[in-house]
């Protein structure tokens, strides 16, 4: 029997994988009278004592009963443990952080193992807690690669379709990456540019592992929407590309026709496009971790000094420097240290 590098008496490394969870919902309950719900998904994990502990929250999506949240939940999947999760959806009615101040739209409980097991199909369940009228939740899981690159983009568009009756469109760009279940997980939304058919969106950056999980040939779907105050955007059109193609930079190869499939069917050969989107710039660079710096030879020096000067004065006085002792932490010094009146650079 070959024990390899196993050393008796030493604990083996725990078998874990870093998992990303993308969440979306359909047909949520509407608890608002004059508008639609403003949903947020809250993830809880079950503690050792059986209590539910909040792990994180998605961003709020205004006026939507079919939200696709951009923010993902990233956690370690531990093969030897049963990790119980609860996904709860709330209609956020105020800025209060307390969930009891908001309308509960439904929840579902499952183990992380159950979600990972159906990775190729996606995990779909009915939300409970509202008599079967809470809608459905869909969770897409994927193991993240160790890619440490960051990509920065700037995009612009020209000649987009006019969608507003009394004005121009209010366009924004949405990027989704393909998944094993033939759906797209949203990875980024640009800002909305009001009343403009030729928008120039601000530069944004994405981790390459979030964009395509390190696979430069992975299909990316870019969709252009017209933002509406009702919360339901108008579809202008879309196009597909890959990071492999995008990395070649600006030029004719990264100028894309925005296609609206329904409009194309109706107009046939007369239809050209619903505008064009152009990649203006792209940079991709590796971002080293702190451990990479240490492994590369970076040295870290740490120096501590204590002032024992007896002339510091009475430590009880806030205008005097403090003497070392049990009252050190309770004496103020300056705006960014507990002891007021002393330059932090001198500590």
- Per residue in 32-55, pLDDT tens? 888 899 999 999 999 989 999 999
Q: How far apart are CA 95 and CA 56, in angstroms?
A: 16
Residue 264 pLDDT: 95
- Per residue in 115-132, pLDDT tens? 999 877 899 999 998 766
For residues 184 and 129, the answer to whether their CB atoms sit within 8 Å is: no
What fold does the segment set 16-143 form as a domain?
Immunoglobulin-like (2.60.40)
pLDDT at 309 over 80: no
HSE at residue 223, side-chain half, CA atoms within 13 A, is 18
Instruction: Using DSSP bridges, classify how beta strands 220-226 and 171-178 pair: parallel, antiparallel or unpaired.
Output: antiparallel
CA dist list (Å): 167 to 60, 73, 161, 226, 228: 27, 38, 11, 12, 12
For residues 259 and 269, the answer to whether their CB atoms sit within 8 Å is: no
HSE at residue 292, side-chain half, CA atoms within 13 A, is 6
Residue 87 pLDDT: 97
Question: Structurally, what CATH architecture does the domain formed by 149-286 represent?
Answer: Sandwich (2.60)
Residue 338 pLDDT: 43
Spatial CA neighbour of 310 closest among 294, 299, 297, 324? 324
Helix ranges, the chain (H): 112-117, 208-211, 243-246, 261-267, 290-295
CB count within 10 Å of CB 113 equals 14
Output 292 or 141, whichever has higher pLDDT.
141
Residue 310 pLDDT: 64
Of the listed ranges 64-68, 78-82, 174-178, 334-338, the least confidently predicted one is 334-338
Banded model confidence at residue 137, pLDDT cuts 50, 70, 90: very high
Task: Quote the tokens at residue 53.
Answer: 């502990």
Residue 331 pLDDT: 44
CB count within 10 Å of CB 307 equals 12
Residue 250 pLDDT: 94
The percentage of the chain sitting over the pLDDT mark of 90, rounded to a whole number, equals: 63
**Who contacts 184 (Cβ-Cβ below 8 Å, separation ≥6)?**
176, 177, 178, 221
Bridge partner residues of 151 (DSSP): 206, 284
Residue 13 pLDDT: 52
Q: How far apart are CA 68 and CA 208, in angstroms?
A: 20
Banded model confidence at residue 334, pLDDT cuts 50, 70, 90: very low
* Chain region(s) in the chain for CATH 2.60.40.150: 16-143, 149-286
Residue 8 pLDDT: 52
Mean pLDDT over all residues of the chain?
86
Residue 204 pLDDT: 97
Terminal C-alpha separation, the chain: 58
Q: How far apart are CA 56 and CA 72, in angstroms?
A: 9
The DSSP result for 52-102, as a single string, is EEEEEE----SS-SS-B-S--EEEEEETTS--EEEEEEEE--SS---GGGS
Task: Quote the tokens at residue 94.
Answer: 């105020």
């Amino acid at each position: 029997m070959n024990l390899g590098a196993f050393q008796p008496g030493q604990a083996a490394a725990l078998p874990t994988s870093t998992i990303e969870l993308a969440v979306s919902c359909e047909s949520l309950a509407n608890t608002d009278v004059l508008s639609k719900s403003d949903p947020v998904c809250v993830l809880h994990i079950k503690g050792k004592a059986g209590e539910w502990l909040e792990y994180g929250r998605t961003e709020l999506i205004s006026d939507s009963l079919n939200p696709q949240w951009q923010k993902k939940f990233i956690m370690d999947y531990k093969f030897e443990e049963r990790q119980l999760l609860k996904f709860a959806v709330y209609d956020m009615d105020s800025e209060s952080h307390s969930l009891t101040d908001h309308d509960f739209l439904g929840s579902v409980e499952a183990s992380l193992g159950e979600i990972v097991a159906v990775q190729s199909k996606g995990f779909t369940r009915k939300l409970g807690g509202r008599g079967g009228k809470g809608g459905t939740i869909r969770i897409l899981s994927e193991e993240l690669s160790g890619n440490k690159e960051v990509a920065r983009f700037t995009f612009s568009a020209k000649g987009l379709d006019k969608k507003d009756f009394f004005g121009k469109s209010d366009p924004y760009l949405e990027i989704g990456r393909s998944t094993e279940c033939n759906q797209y997980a949203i990875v980024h939304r640009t800002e909305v540019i009001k009343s403009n058919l030729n928008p120039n969106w601000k530069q944004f950056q994405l981790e390459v592992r979030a964009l395509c999980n390190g696979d430069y040939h992975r299909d990316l779907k870019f969709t252009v929407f017209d933002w509406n105050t009702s919360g339901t955007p108008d579809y202008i059109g879309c196009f597909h590309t890959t990071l492999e193609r995008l990395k070649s930079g600006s030029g004719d190869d990264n100028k894309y026709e925005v296609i609206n499939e329904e409009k194309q069917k109706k107009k046939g050969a007369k239809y050209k496009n619903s505008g064009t989107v152009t990649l203006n710039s792209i940079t991709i660079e590796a971002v080293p971790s702190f451990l990479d710096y240490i492994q590369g030879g970076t040295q870290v020096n740490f120096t501590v000094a204590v002032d024992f000067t007896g002339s510091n004065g009475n430590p009880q006085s806030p205008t005097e420097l403090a003497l070392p002792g049990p009252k050190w932490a309770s004496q103020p010094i300056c705006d960014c240290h507990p002891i007021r009146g002393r330059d932090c650079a001198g500590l």
